[in-house]
Every structure is written in C-alpha cells, then in structure tokens.
Amino acid sequence: MGLAIITGGSRGLGAALCDLYRDQGWSVLEFSRSAPHDFSVELDLSDPVDASAVFSEAFASLGDFAASEIIAINNAGMLEPVGPVEHVSPGAIATNLDVNVLSAILFARAFVEAFQDHDCPKTFVNISSGAANKGYAGWSLYCAGKAAMENYTRSIALEQSARPNLIRAISVNPGVMDTSMQEAIRNSPLELFPALERFTRLKDDGLLAPPALVARQIAEIVASRPEPGGVYSVNR
C-alpha cells in the first residue's frame, strides 16, 4: 500500500490530493490546523518548533509501516499579509515565513529523517507557484517563500543524488485554481494588490482549474518519476 503525507489537506488542492490518493487505495496522513479528516493530525504551522515535534511524532507512530511507495506533499501555505512592505507588521512577516518557509523546511527535514532508509520509491513534492519566479507588488512575502522553497527542494535533490535509497525531490507549479486563496486574492484592495484585475479576469473567463483536476495531474507527474530537482507545471 502506498502512503501519501500531505500538509494543508483540509480544503482546496490539499483536500483534492487527499481524496485522490484515498480513492486509489493509499493510506493518507494529513496535517492541518482544522484536522477535519479521520486521518488528520492537528498542528499549527505558524509555530514551527511545535510543528516539527508533531511531524516527528506522527512519523514515528507509523513504526514499520511497509509502504510500497511514499509521497510527501508540502501543500500548506498562506497568502497574507498583502500590501506594500512598509505597511506589513513585523509579526505578520514572521507568521507568513513561519508557515510558508520554516514549517515547510521542517516538514521536509522530518520526512527525510524518518523515511530515508525505506527501500521503496519516495518523493518529496513542493507545491510551488509562478510567484516563485515573478515578483508581484503586494506579494513580497508570498513570492519570497515560494522562491525559497523551490531552491530548498533543489538542494534536497542534490543531497539525495548520492544516497542509496533516493528520495526524489521536485517542485510542481499547479497554476491558477478555483480555491479559497483565489477568492481572497479577488477580495484584495486594489491599492494593496495592483495586479487585482488580472486575477479577477481569470475567474470571469473561466480559467481557474478545478482542484481535483490539478490533483490528478500532480499525481501523474509524480508517477512518471521525473528528474529530481526540477520544477514541473501541470497541463491545462
């Protein structure tokens, strides 16, 4: 049986990924603050030290789970705060980076530490964004976090290249989806997010992909055993 480990699986793409792998007969472990599923573990990603302990404890509880394949998907993330850098409080900056960077790094670390020696196909998937390679006024922290995690994932791939039980590390750009994050973007004040009109048009023109479709394409990318360290985009 395969094991899929997913952060932020309470809604949107994360929930769609949970549904997809469950439907395919995989065992799923989900981490989120609301922990809505019977396979969920509750944690607060804005507290990285506590989150790290929760990850380690949850992975240790799996014991000698004989998985035929293991996939860890770093999906959780937050957009807020939105606005010019000088208007963002130090506390809001810290919270964003705790969720989008520090806890994501600690998730990857705990996964590698726990499953390095498992003799089966293993993949760490970082859910990225076009914002990793393009700056947006008002999204300085979101862009920075996505860029940081792409390069962190490349570094994991390089470290793993010489390991006997390779963990394949990749990033996936899911594109624009019809999720609550897109709704939050459309509700952003224009003075805080000058690119608002572009994202409003995407919704009006029906160009936001359903999360279930994107989840299926992500699973197909992972199943194709792509080159480690790459950034892969879903097909529309």
CATH class of 2-174+210-233: alpha beta
How is residue 66 written in tokens?
């004989």
Query: pLDDT tier at 175 (50, 70, 90 boundaries)?
Result: very high
Judge whether residue 109 has pLDDT over 80. yes
Percent helix, strand, coil in the chain (nearest 5)?
A: 45, 15, 40
Query: pLDDT tier at 63 (50, 70, 90 boundaries)?
Result: confident
Q: Decide if 43 contacts 31 (C-beta within 8 A).
A: yes
pLDDT digits (tens, 9 = 90+) for 144-171: 999 999 999 999 999 999 999 999 999 9
Buried b (16+ CB within 10 A) or exposed e, 193-218: beebeebeebeeeeebbebebbbebb
> How deeply is 36 buried, as exposed, middle or buried, from its count of CB atoms within 10 A (0-12, 13-18, 19+)?
middle
Q: Which sign, positive or negative, has the C-alpha torsion 216, 7, 180, 84?
A: negative
Q: Which amino acid is it at 172?
A: V
Output the CA–CA distances (angstroms, integers) from residue 143 to 62, 73, 118, 136, 147, in the order listed.
34, 19, 34, 7, 6
Q: 220: how many CB neighbours lie within 10 A of its CB?
A: 11
User: How is residue 188 annotated by DSSP?
Assistant: S
pLDDT digits (tens, 9 = 90+) for 66-81: 899 999 999 999 999 9
Q: 131: how many CB neighbours lie within 10 A of its CB?
A: 17
Distance of CA 67 to the CA centre of its chain: 22
**pTM recorded for the entire structure:** 0.96
pLDDT digits (tens, 9 = 90+) for 41-53: 999 999 999 999 9
Average pLDDT, stretch 27-33? Answer: 98
Query: pLDDT tier at 236 (50, 70, 90 boundaries)?
Result: low
For position 235, what pLDDT does the model report?
Answer: 76
